[in-house]
Amino acid sequence: MKKFTTTLVILIALILSTSIVALASDNATYKEGIYTLADFAPTKDNLYTIRNISSKDNSYLIVMDENLTSLQFLRLEPKSPIHDLIPLTPKYRIVIFGAGEVLIKPAK
């Protein structure tokens, strides 16, 4: 009976922990830095949305291709509305700068 109870508790803990990790990856926040597609929660169509969740600081976003050509530039004001990003490819670089914190989520 002890083995069954121990196994059941471990199984429930594993199931709950994977659910929490999945939820956390959908709501990833980012600060200043250079990111690639691998840094975000993977999606089939590589479509994402972004918004600045800071209450007082601006953030800026630049999407660049492999030749460092700017493809998209966004100025995100504090508590900005949701903006759509262009479809990203693994070779694109995403540059975020400014004192704000941005939330990047898969588009639905």
User: Could you tell me which residues come within 8 angstroms of residue 83 by beta carbon, excluding any fewer than 6 positions away?
Assistant: 49, 50, 51, 74, 76
Domain count, the chain: 1
- Identify the CATH number of the domain in which residue 79 sits: 2.60.290
pLDDT score, position 93 = 94
* Domain range enclosing 40: 29-106
* Within a domain: 2: no
Element (H, E) at 47: none
* Within a domain: 17: no
Contact 51, 16 (CB under 8 A): no
Average pLDDT of every residue of the chain:
84
* Within a domain: 21: no
pLDDT score, position 24 = 44
Question: pTM of the prediction?
Answer: 0.72
* Within a domain: 4: no
* Within a domain: 5: no
Q: Is 68 left (phi over 0), alpha (psi -120 to 50) or beta?
A: left
Average pLDDT score over residue span 44-48: 89
User: Could you tell me which residues come within 8 angstroms of residue 47 by beta carbon, excluding any fewer than 6 positions away?
Assistant: 84, 85, 87, 88, 106, 107
Of residues 7 and 106, more confidence is placed in 106
Average pLDDT score over residue span 65-75: 95
* Within a domain: 7: no
The residues pairing with 15 across neighbouring beta strands, listed in sequence order, are none
* 76-96: pLDDT as tens digits: 999 999 999 999 999 999 999
* 4-37: pLDDT as tens digits: 777 766 666 666 554 444 444 456 889 999 999 8
Of 6-10, 43-47, 75-79, 104-108, which one has max mean pLDDT?
75-79
The residues pairing with 73 across neighbouring beta strands, listed in sequence order, are 62
Contact 99, 54 (CB under 8 A): yes
